[in-house]
Structure 1
Amino acid sequence: MESTNQRGAFAPPPETRQYAMKMGRTLAVLLATILIASPAAAHIKWFEPFDVSAQPKPLDAVLSPTFVTFFLISVVLVYLFFVVDRIALRRGVMETFHQRLKVFDGLSILIMRGAAGLFFASTWAMAIFGGIRFYLAPELIADEVWLPWFQLALALCALSRWTTPLLGAGILLLYALALHHYGVFHLIDYLIFPAVAYFFMATASASYGWKKSGFVTLYAVTGINFLWLSIEKFAFPDWTYPLLAKHPALLMGIAPETYMVLAGFVEFVIIFTLLGAASVATRLIAFAFQTLLVLGIFEFGLVDAIGHLMINAVLFVLIVRGPTDARYILVLSTKSPQMEAYFMTGLYYLAFVNAFILYYGLHALLQG
C-alpha cells in the first residue's frame, strides 16, 4: 500500500530510501565543510583583542579570486542542497517522525528555561568566585556590583513557568545596559538575547499563537545573528589571526587568509540552509552545527561553554521540536524541486549581498 505525507505526495519505500541516501550525501559535503572551519565555533571577541571602531577590510580587498571561487562553490552547494531538501519533503522522508516531534512545545520551553537558569547561575558564579562580571557575553564587562545578584535572581526565575516573563524582562534590561555601554553595532552580535527574552514572555501565554510567535522569533533571530557574525569573518579577519597562531592545528595546512574566507562561507551557507530547509534536514543541520559548538568547548574551554550556552539550547530545541510551519512560506509546492532550488539560490544571493550591505553600511553609520 502506498503511503502519503500531509501534502499528498506518494512515497514508495525504495524511492524514499534512494532520496534519503541523496540527502545524506549532500549533507555529508556540508558537514565535512563545517569541520574544516572550526574557528567559526569560537566568538573571537571572547579570546582576542578587537576594535569595532576600526575600519573593516575594504570591499575590493574582500572580493579576491579566492572569495569569488568559494562564492561560486557555495552557490552550487546551496542549489544542490535545496533540490534534495525539497524532494525529501515531497517524498515524505521521515515525515511521520518529523511531524510527531513538533508537539514537544512544553519540553522545548523547559529546555530553554533550564539553559537560562544554568547560564545566569554560571555568570553569578564567575562574578563571585572568579571576579569577572559581564552582562550577557564574556567581553561585555560590567562594573555594577549588584549585577551578579540580579543574575542569580534571573536564574531562580527560570525555575517556574510563572516567573519566566520576569526572566525575559530581566534579559531585556541586561541587553539595554550593555547597549548603553557598548553601542548598537557591537550589540548586534547578540540579537539572540532579545529573541530569547521575547520567547520567555510569549511562551508564558496560554495562547498557541503567542507560543508559535515565540518559536518563530527564536529561530529566525538566531539564524540572522549567525549570518551577521559570518560577515565579520570577511570584514575583520585579522581579529582571528592571533587565535589561529595559538591553535595552528586548526588550519590543517591552509593559509590563514584562505581559512578565514572559507570559515565565513561555511557559517553563512550552513545557517542559510538551516533557515530555509523544510524537510528533516533541518534537524540534521542543527545537530551538526551544535556538535561543532560543543567540540569548540574542548578547544576553547569554560568561557566558550558559558558564552555559547543559550545558542546551544536554541539548536537543541530545534533538534527536539523541529521548525515551525512558518518556514513553509518558502516552499513553492506547485513548482518542481529544481525550480524551488533556483528560487532558494536566488534568496541566498540576495541574503549574502544584503548582509554585506547591512554590515558595512551600519558600521559606517554607527562607527563613523
Structure 2
Amino acid sequence: MPLNKKSLLSFIVALLLATPITAYAHVKWFAEVEPEKVPIEQILSPFFITFAVLVAIILAVLSQIMDYFMKIPYAEKIDNFLNGIRKYSRYILKYGTALAFIIQLVSGTMFAPEFEITEVWQTVVMGIIILALLIPTHISTKGGAFLMLGLFITVWQDYGWFYMLDYGFYIAIIFVLFIGKTKLEGWGFPFLYLGTGLSLCWVAVEKWVYPAMSLDIVVNHNVPTFGFDPEIFIVMAAFVEFVVGYLLVVGILNRILGLVVTLIFVSTTLLFGMTEIIGHAMIHIVLIIFIIEGVSFYHPPIKMHKTKIDQFVFVFLNFIFILATFILVYYRFA
C-alpha cells in the first residue's frame, strides 16, 4: 500500500506516544536494589528473539522510506532552516558543555550523578574547564578538552573501564572539542554520532542483563507500562534505547531521532527530577546538535549499498549482528 503524508505523520505521532518514557532513565541513578545478573537463557527468551527479528524488519523497512519524511508538510522548510544554522553547531557544543559542567559543579558531581566531587582539586579542575570553554578561542577550548580528558581518566581509574563505557560519549565530545580548527575537524561530528550511539546501545543492554534494577524503578516511581507486563515492558524499553543508538551509528533519521529522544528526556525529567537534569544535560546538548546537523557531514554505512534490497538486507543482518555482539560482550564482562 503506498505511503502518503498523513500515514507517515500518524506513524511519527504513534512512535512518540508508544515510546516508553523510561527508556533513557539511567537505572544506576535510581534503582534501590543491587544489580543481579540473570542467566543468558532468561535474556534470550522467545519473546526477546521474536521482538528482535520484528525490530530488525521494521528498521530495514524504515531505511527504505526515509525520503518520504521530507514530504511531510513544512518538513522541507524546517530542514532548510536547520541547514542554515549548522555553522553554530560547534559553538553549541562548546558552550553547552560548559553549561552542563556548571550544573554538575553546582550539584557536586563530575560527568554523572554517581561521580561525586570528593577532593578540592577536582572542584578546581572543573572550574578551570568551565572557564576554558567559555573563553572564545580555540586554544582555550583545546586546553579545556585536555583537562576534561585527564579528569575523565581519573574517574575511569576509580570505577573501571567496564563501568565507564556507559559514558563513552564524553570521549567523543572531548575529541570534537580538541580537533577544532585542525585538519581533522571533519572527523569530529561523525565520531560524536558513533560515540553517542554506541553508548546508548551499551546502556540499553544493562537493562536486559540486570532487569531487577529497571523493574525496581518501574514499581517505585509508578512508571506507566501502557498495559504491558512490567518485565515485558522493560525488554521493550531497552530495545527502544538500543534502536536509537543503532540508528545514530548507521545514519538513519538523525534529526527526527534527536527530536524524539529530546522530548523523551524532557518527559523523564518530570518523573525523576533534578538527578535526571544533572545526568542528561550533556546528552541534551548532543541531541540538539544532531537535530541541527542531520547527516550532512556523515556518510552513513547504509550508503555503501546502492540497491534497495541490498540496503534492506544490510540493515536487517547488521542490526541482529550488532545486537548479539553487544549482549555477548556485556554479559561476558558484567
Equivalent positions of 1:152-171 (< 5 A) are 152-162=127-137, 163-171=140-148
SS in 2 for 1:251: coil
Matched, 1:221 2:195: yes
Kept in 2: contact 1:276–1:330 (CA 8 A):
yes
Residue in 2 that maps onto 1:272: 246
Kept in 1: contact 2:149–2:171 (CA 8 A):
yes
Report the TM-score, using the length of structure 2 for normalisation: 0.89
Kept in 1: contact 2:207–2:235 (CA 8 A):
yes
Instruction: Note closer, same or farther for the CA distance 1:292–1:96 as it changes in structure 2 (3 Å cut).
Output: closer
Residue in 1 that maps onto 2:318: 347
Residue in 1 that maps onto 2:184: 210
Instruction: Note closer, same or farther for the CA distance 1:298–1:291 as it changes in structure 2 (3 Å cut).
Output: same
SS in 2 for 1:250: coil
- How far apart are 1:326 and its partner, in Å? 2.8
- How far apart are 1:215 and its partner, in Å? 0.7
Residue in 2 that maps onto 1:316: 288
Kept in 2: contact 1:231–1:355 (CA 8 A):
yes
Residue in 1 that maps onto 2:156: 179
- How far apart are 1:65 and its partner, in Å? 2.6
Q: Deviations over 1:287-310 (max 9, x none)?
A: 011110121111111111121011
- How far apart are 1:243 and its partner, in Å? 1.6
Residue in 2 that maps onto 1:126: 107
Kept in 2: contact 1:86–1:340 (CA 8 A):
no
- How far apart are 1:339 and its partner, in Å? 3.4
Distance 1:210 1:308 in 2: 28
Residue in 1 that maps onto 2:302: 330
- How far apart are 1:25 and its partner, in Å? 4.4
**1:195 is matched with which residue: 169, 172, 175?**
172
Distance 2:90 2:32 in 1: 36
- C-alpha root-mean-square deviation of aligned residues, in Å? 2.7
**1:230 is matched with which residue: 204, 212, 224?**
204
Instruction: Note closer, same or farther for the CA distance 1:103–1:171 as it changes in structure 2 (3 Å cut).
Output: farther
Aligned residues: 330
Matched, 1:306 2:278: yes
Equivalent positions of 1:1-368 (< 5 A) are 20-21=5-6, 23-34=8-19, 37-49=20-32, 56-85=37-66, 98=79, 101-102=82-83, 104-127=85-108, 134-162=109-137, 163-203=140-180, 205=181, 207=182, 209-278=183-252, 281-332=253-304, 334-336=306-308, 338-363=309-334
- How far apart are 1:263 and its partner, in Å? 0.8
Instruction: Note closer, same or farther for the CA distance 1:24–1:332 as it changes in structure 2 (3 Å cut).
Output: farther
Distance 1:156 1:248 in 2: 41
Q: Deviations over 1:64-86 (max 9, x none)?
A: 23212322321232122112126
* Identity across matched positions, percent: 23
SS in 2 for 1:138: strand
Report the TM-score, using the length of structure 1 for normalisation: 0.81
SS in 2 for 1:326: coil
Structure 2: which 5+ residue stretches go unaligned?
none
- How far apart are 1:264 and its partner, in Å? 1.2
- How far apart are 1:88 and its partner, in Å? 6.0
Q: Which moved more, 1:181-190 or 1:148-157?
A: 148-157
User: Which protein has the larger Cα radius of gyration, Structure 1 or Structure 2?
Assistant: 1
Kept in 2: contact 1:215–1:324 (CA 8 A):
no
Distance 2:263 2:12 in 1: 14
Instruction: Note closer, same or farther for the CA distance 1:247–1:285 as it changes in structure 2 (3 Å cut).
Output: same
Structure 1: which 5+ residue stretches go unaligned?
1-14, 128-133, 364-368
Kept in 1: contact 2:205–2:330 (CA 8 A):
yes
Distance 1:170 1:229 in 2: 25
- How far apart are 1:342 and its partner, in Å? 2.1
